[in-house]
Amino acid sequence: MRKFHSAVIVGVVSLVVAGGIALRAAETKKASVKWQTDLHKAHEVSLETNKPMLLVFGAEWCHFCKKLEQTTLTNAELVKYINANFVAVHIDADEQEKVAEILEVKGLPCTIVLSPEADLLGRITGFKKPSDFYDELAKARKLFEPAVQTASKTRHEEAAIR
């Protein structure tokens, strides 16, 4: 009877330890944005999917860029929202100086939202908590939606005329 009892305890401890390891593994696997690595390809995807581009400028030396990437841009709900509504591109401002200059990036981190036609929809400068970052993205997305509805309505009207 004692051996059976010990075996049960060892089995339960093994399950608890294994469950704890699996739980820690799940915790360390953070949600991630589906980043595009090429700006030109991202623009093509933006045009094809009719989603605005989300350009996140950072740099290796930038403390708040890393904080944005490690906290805000790993928030599960925000990641889901970004992946569903934007074509995301991470841009190193040091490597892509010309792009940063053209888009008037003055400080880092800097997030810019562009329509597929490259119209400016929003700009977020500095580190933001997930809720604040979401609010800014939602504002930019709202600016894009009327343009999408108008373009769609125009296509339908054109089709009806023909």
Range of the domain at 3: 1-30
- For the chain, percent of residues with pLDDT exceeding 70: 71
Number of domains in the chain: 2
Question: Is residue 25 located within the same domain as residue 84?
Answer: no
Instruction: Answer yes or no: pTM beyond 0.85.
Output: no
Question: Is residue 12 located within the same domain as residue 42?
Answer: no
Question: Is residue 15 located within the same domain as residue 35?
Answer: no
> Which tens digit of pLDDT belongs to each residue from 79-102?
999 999 999 999 999 999 999 999
CATH number at residue 136: 3.40.30.10
Residue with tokens 């708040």, as numbered in its chain: 64
